[in-house]
């Protein structure tokens, strides 16, 4: 509400903040211009200002500078710091991915090694089973042969033993001669 002072025949109007004129009817716009369509009771403000007199920031937040600047606070040092942080994070992620890839590769090699080892043991056990069966077959054949030799009469046994002895001596002689060859 304006105050009116009368000094002799002059009337002086003392206006509230944000108003001016002889009768305090003209608005003062800090940033912008009076709105003619609204009979100059408000201001048309630029994008970054708001309020009746364009005297407040339209955006709020930690990065917005206070009134009268009302712009985003981006300093070169902050931008550089943010860029360095981003690069550091990127390098860290790259190292983690490299380490994970190496571990996966190592795991793959270990799995291949153990799989081949299992296959080798399986083949080896099959070969041992085959040898065991052959050994048992030979043992049975020898047992049958031993039983059948018991059936020979004494003379045949003696002849058989003498033939065996001659064969053994012949083998010994061949071994001795092969040593000199």
Q: What is the pLDDT of residues 75-128, one digit of tens each?
A: 666 778 888 999 999 999 999 999 999 999 999 999 999 999 888 888 888 888
> Digits of tens for pLDDT over the chain (181 positions)?
455 555 556 667 788 888 887 778 888 888 888 888 877 778 888 888 888 888 888 888 776 776 777 776 666 667 788 889 999 999 999 999 999 999 999 999 999 999 998 888 888 888 888 888 999 999 988 888 777 766 555 566 666 677 777 776 766 655 555 555 5
Q: What is the rounded distance in angstroms from the CA atom of residue 55 to the CA atom of residue 67?
A: 7
Residue spans per domain, the chain: 3-57, 76-150, 153-181
Length of the chain: 181
Residue with tokens 């860290």: 92
Neighbour count for residue 54 (Cβ, 10 Å): 24
Give phi and psi for 7, each to the nearest 5: -125, 105
- The CA-CA-CA angle for residues 124, 130, 132, to 5°, reads 105
Q: What is the rounded distance in angstroms from the CA atom of residue 26 to the CA atom of residue 42?
A: 10
E strands, the chain, are 3-7, 10-14, 19-20, 26-27, 33-34, 43-44, 49-50, 56-57
pTM of the model: 0.34
82 and 75 in contact (C-beta within 8 Å)? no
């Amino acid at each position: 509400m304006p105050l009116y002072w009368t000094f002799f025949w002059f009337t002086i109007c003392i206006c509230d903040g944000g108003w001016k004129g002889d009768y305090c009817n003209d608005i003062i716009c800090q940033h912008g211009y009076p709105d003619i369509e609204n009979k100059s009771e408000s201001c048309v403000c630029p994008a970054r200002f708001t309020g009746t007199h364009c005297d407040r920031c339209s955006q709020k937040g930690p990065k917005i500078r206070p009134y009268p600047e009302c712009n985003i606070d981006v300093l070169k040092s902050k931008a550089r710091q943010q860029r360095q942080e981003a690069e550091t994070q990127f390098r860290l992620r790259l190292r983690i991915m490299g380490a994970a890839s190496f571990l996966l590769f190592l795991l793959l090699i270990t799995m291949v090694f153990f799989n081949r080892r299992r296959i080798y043991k399986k083949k080896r056990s099959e070969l041992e089973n085959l040898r065991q069966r052959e050994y048992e077959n030979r043992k049975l054949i020898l047992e049958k042969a031993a039983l059948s030799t018991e059936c020979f009469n004494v003379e045949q046994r003696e002849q058989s033993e003498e033939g065996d002895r001659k064969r053994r001596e012949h083998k010994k002689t061949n071994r001795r001669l092969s040593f000199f060859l």
